[in-house]
Amino acid sequence: MHYWLMKSEPGDVSIDDALAMPDHTVGWYGVRNYQARNFMRDQMRVDDGVLFYHSSCEVPGIAGIARVASAAYPDPTQFERKNKYFDAKATPEQPRWMQVDVQVTRKTRLLPLTEIRSIPELADMRLLARGNRLSITPVTKAEWQCIQKLLK
């Protein structure tokens, strides 16, 4: 059992958008970073915990709790020529980019990045690491539990 923080731009896919989908589930398409891809491909398991994070928006922060709902499978947007995530070097036989399905289990109050920063127990979160840009980062069990408590 692992825990993850996954960033989404709410202008693209927000927590409300996810909740509007069948089974409250979205395919986490568009990851184009090898480290983040490898987390999904090699380490994520169904039922892993997910912090649904809103980035590049007015108040960035954690917007809800979700779970990993599938194993990794090829991200279909890499094959779609007109898609902004199209990758000419990817083929269905040799896909380059993967995604998992993410099911929102609970929309919470927004836990702003500024508040996350202010909590000593969360000071070592990978999210807060200097220069971190990874859209998927591991979360420790202690961090997960601390955040669950804050979002009760």
Tell me which residues touch DNA (CB under 7 A). Answer: 7, 9, 32-35, 55-57, 60, 113-114, 130-135
Least Å from the CB of residue 7 to DNA: 5
Q: How far is CA 16 from the centre of its chain?
A: 15
CA 100 to each of CA 31, 39, 51, 143: distance values in angstroms, whole numbers, following the listed order: 10, 10, 14, 22
Least Å from the CB of residue 18 to DNA: 17
> Among residues 132, 126, 120, which one has the least CA distance to residue 51?
126
Least Å from the CB of residue 22 to DNA: 26
Least Å from the CB of residue 6 to DNA: 10
> Measured from the CB atom, is 113 or 151 closer to DNA?
113
> Measured from the CB atom, is 113 or 150 closer to DNA?
113
> Measured from the CB atom, is 34 or 123 closer to DNA?
34
Least Å from the CB of residue 2 to DNA: 19
> Measured from the CB atom, is 82 or 152 closer to DNA?
82
Structure tokens at 80: 């779609």
Structure tokens at 129: 């690491």
As a whole number of angstroms, the distance between CA 35 and CA 33 comes to 6
CA 115 to each of CA 21, 68, 79, 152: distance values in angstroms, whole numbers, following the listed order: 29, 25, 39, 15
> Measured from the CB atom, is 35 or 145 closer to DNA?
35
